[in-house]
Amino acid sequence: MAEEKARTSGESPRQENAPLQNLPTVNPATEKKQEVATKPVFHPAVYIVTWITLSSSVILFNKWILDTAKFHYPIFLTTWHLLFATICTQVMARFTTMLDSRHSVPMTGRVYLRAIVPIGVFFSLSLICGNLTYLYLSVSFIQMLKATTPVAVLLSTWALGVAPPNLKTLGNVSFIVVGVVIASLGEIKFVLIGFIYQVGGITFEAIRLTMVQRLLSSAEFKMDPLVSLYYFAPACAVMNGVVALIAEVPHMSMAEIYKVGVFTLFANACVAFLLNVSVVFLVNPLGVPNLTKHHRTNHAQIGKTSSLVLTLSGVLKDILLVVASMVIFRDPVSLTQMVGYSIALSGLVYYKLGAEKLKEYYFQGSRNWSEYRATHPALARLIIFAVILTVLFVILGGLVPYVPRNYTTTAQEYINRGIGKAQGVTGGT
């Protein structure tokens, strides 16, 4: 029996030089699950459209409450937004996993006072100035002025020593400044105090962004927008609340709140908070707040390739806001403003992408458009016709003269007086 066993074992001797078979190092089922997990929950276009919709809705909603509804308490409104955001982020931290990344941030009381609170001060100032602007300027003009934010951030990084000055970069952003200056000269409803508030808001926002950039330069303080809101909202709510108690609350009445509507204020705060949530999913195309190391690598690659899409999405949002302001609030936009704003947006795209990237995207787009025209000639002609029609509509709309209401009323009074005098003369004869 032993001899048979030995003979059987010896029938298949091991070859020393035989190549070893490649054994799987990862469970195929687990790898398949990881591939499924890395797929986006929705198409990236869904996140972009959601962000554009919510961002535009917040601005138009705030303008309607503060100006059209005559609720002239912008600091109180900002405080309400921050208080609502504080409550929501605290609830989400306890009952969801969307804020679990906050555990990796070494936040202590000393760090909070030295890093978070100073940033919160400038955040509060930018929000207060931004909302005060709605009382004086049109949404369209506000968006045109906001185009200078990258310029303010660039100057702020130089002033605070975060980045060394670069004259070439300054030259690149000069087109933005020139465009906004032209747009300002063409503004029909220019109000100096509103302009000063907006410039102050842009300045405070630029300083805040620079301070955040310095804070996030340390790997241990990397935070997504929702985690940042979790830390900043309470401090900003307290600071804005103190200012509101001194400046606005003594002049307020519950009748004014009821006139606007409690549900309206609640809906306004919900839209503002959902905007912050949408930003998290916008910067994270997978729609998963907590990414693994492998996912972060993919995320970085996606971020690099989608810079054009994100830049153009921001430009599209600004253009849509200007159009919405003209339609909803009947804000006049002159041809001079259109030309200036076009220059500013072109300079913004050039500054964010750079000449080399623009050339690359141009040649790629030209090639794709040629292929599309060859395969869909009818649709291509329809698209060209629609673009030409839209451009003509915008240009001709800007050429229409804007007549203020007081001029119209005065003209009507003169006409009535003339008719009365004519009737008197006729009756006398």
DSSP-assigned letter for residue 189: S
Closest CA to 133 of 194, 217, 69: 194
- Residue 19 CA to its chain's centroid (Å): 58
Are the beta carbons of 285 and 47 closer than 8 angstroms?
yes
Structural contact between residues 321 and 312, judged by C-beta atoms closer than 8 angstroms: no
**CA 344 to CA 36: how far, in whole Å?**
42
Query: Which runs of consecutive H residues, i.e. helices, occur in 251-306?
Result: 254-260, 262-283, 293-305
Please tell me the distance from the alpha carbon of residue 388 to that of residue 133, in angstroms, as a whole number: 35
How far apart CA 288 and CA 96 sit, in angstroms, is 12
Burial of 197 (0-12, 13-18, 19+ CB in 10 A): buried
Residue 18, Cβ density class (10 Å: 0-12 exposed, 13-18 middle, ≥19 buried): exposed
189/402 Cα distance (integer angstroms): 11
Alpha carbon distance 81, 264 (integer Å): 12
CA–CA separation, 61 and 55 (whole Å): 10
Instruction: Give the pLDDT confidence score for residue 418 in this predicted structure.
Output: 52
Confidence of residue 299 (pLDDT cuts 50, 70, 90): very low
Give the pTM.
Answer: 0.73
Measured distance CA(338)–CA(188) in Å, rounded:
12
Phi, psi torsion values for 78, nearest 5 degrees: -65, -40
Q: Of 2-6, 133-137, 370-374, 390-394, give the lowest mean pLDDT range.
A: 2-6
Percentage of the chain surpassing pLDDT 70?
75
pLDDT at 294 (0 to 100):
36
**148 CB neighbour count, 10 Å cutoff:** 24
Amino acid type, 47: Y
Closest CA to 334 of 197, 175, 190: 190
For 318, the token pair is 């600004």
Instruction: Report which of 204, 69, 178, 59 is spatially closest to residue 125, judged by C-alpha positions.
Output: 204
Report the alpha-carbon angle 274-271-224, nearest 5: 25
- What is the chain's Cα-based Rg? 30
Question: Which residues lie closer than 8 Å to 307 by C-beta, 6 or more apart?
Answer: 352, 353, 357
Contact by Cβ (8 Å): 355, 172: no
Going by the DSSP 8-state scheme, the letter that residue 160 receives in this structure is T
- Condensed to tens digits (0 to 9), the pLDDT of residues 378-392 reads 887 888 888 788 777
Q: Grade residue 36 by pLDDT with cuts at 50, 70 and 90.
A: very low
Closest CA to 116 of 201, 204, 216, 206: 216
Q: From CA 186, how far away is CA 39, in angstroms rounded?
A: 48
Give per-residue pLDDT as tens, 301-336: 334 335 667 777 888 888 888 888 888 888 888 888
User: Cβ(179)–Cβ(337) under 8 Å?
Assistant: no
CA proximity to 212, closest of 199, 200, 228, 226: 228
pLDDT band at 265 (very low <50, low <70, confident <90, very high): very high
pLDDT in tens, 211-223: 988 887 776 777 8
Nearest to 291 by CA among 26, 25, 28, 40: 40
93 versus 2: the higher-pLDDT residue is: 93
Closest CA to 128 of 244, 19, 295: 244
The residue written with tokens 């040629």 in the block is 370
